[in-house]
Amino acid sequence: MFKRIGRRINSLFAAVGILAVVVVVTPISEYLARPLRLEREIRPAEAIVVLGGGSFEDGLPAIPSLVRAVYGFSLFRAGYAPKILLSGGQVRSDLGIEAMAMKKLLEDIGAPPKSLETEGRSTRTYSNATESARILQGQGITRILLVSHSNHMRRAKWTFEKAGFIVYPAPIPWDRLPKKENIFSLKRVGLMRSVVHEYGGLVLYWWKGWL
């Protein structure tokens, strides 16, 4: 019995090892990521909605939130919309509120406070959409530029459209797939993790009727 269990464990580790090698040395993660990504559609809108990507317990935004907030502010400064809604709550009790962390960052770099609005109740993309709809559609706003990372863009767009918005995708421009297919890249491990998460999210959201 113990030998059978040991053989199964060894087989599992071998399979995981083979899968890891395939991910690292082949462009499979890049191929799987492409259908998740949408071209930027930057045009005038009624508001820019920035989706939170994490925050620390001391109120500082995590890197994904920082990058998204700065890009959203750049769209605001370029005149694409008169206001920014920062969306994201407290995902865990030991973390800060994403929207407030992004708001403080933008105020520190010169964003006019009157142009910033926060939504700090959501903990996932679905509630980002429903809570944003509660705030913005109550003001008569339906056309939005939606800011997030590229792999997240398709699920986010479909979810916000389900909530009643006209969505112009604004994936952050620095989140790019490599133009050349390298033989070996450890970065593919993180990319594959993101890809698996997003495909799982699409299945879950479809099953729950959130798309």
Nearest alpha-carbon partner for 40 in 180, 169, 203: 169
> Higher pLDDT residue, 7 or 174?
174
pLDDT in tens, 153-192: 999 999 999 999 999 999 999 988 877 666 656 676 778 8
pLDDT value for 182: 64
CATH of 47-171, one of 3.40.50.10860, 3.40.50.10420, 3.40.50.620, 3.40.1010.10: 3.40.50.620
Checking if the pLDDT of 23 tops 60, the result is no
What is the C-alpha R_g of the chain?
19
Q: In sequence order, which ranges of 122-181 are alpha helices (DSSP H)?
A: 125-136, 153-162
**In the predicted structure, residue 34 carries a pLDDT above the cut 50:** yes
List pLDDT tens digits, range 35-64: 999 999 999 999 999 999 999 999 999 999
13 vs 126, higher pLDDT: 126
Q: Say what the pTM is.
A: 0.87
Please say whether the beta carbons of 43 and 79 come within 8 A. no
Instruction: Determine which of 2-11, 16-25, 190-199 has the lowest per-residue pLDDT on average.
Output: 16-25
Q: What is the pLDDT of residues 57-104, one digit of tens each?
A: 999 999 999 999 999 999 999 999 999 999 999 988 889 999 999 999
Q: Is the predicted pLDDT of residue 19 greater than 60, yes or no?
A: no
Q: Where are the domains of the chain?
A: 2-36+177-208, 47-171
Q: Which of 196, 199, 200, 150 is nearest to 172 (CA)?
A: 150
Mean pLDDT estimate for the chain: 87
Angle (CA) 87-36-149 rounded to 5° is: 35
Residue 10 has pLDDT above 80, yes or no: no
24 residue type, one letter: V
H helical segments located in 26-54: 28-33
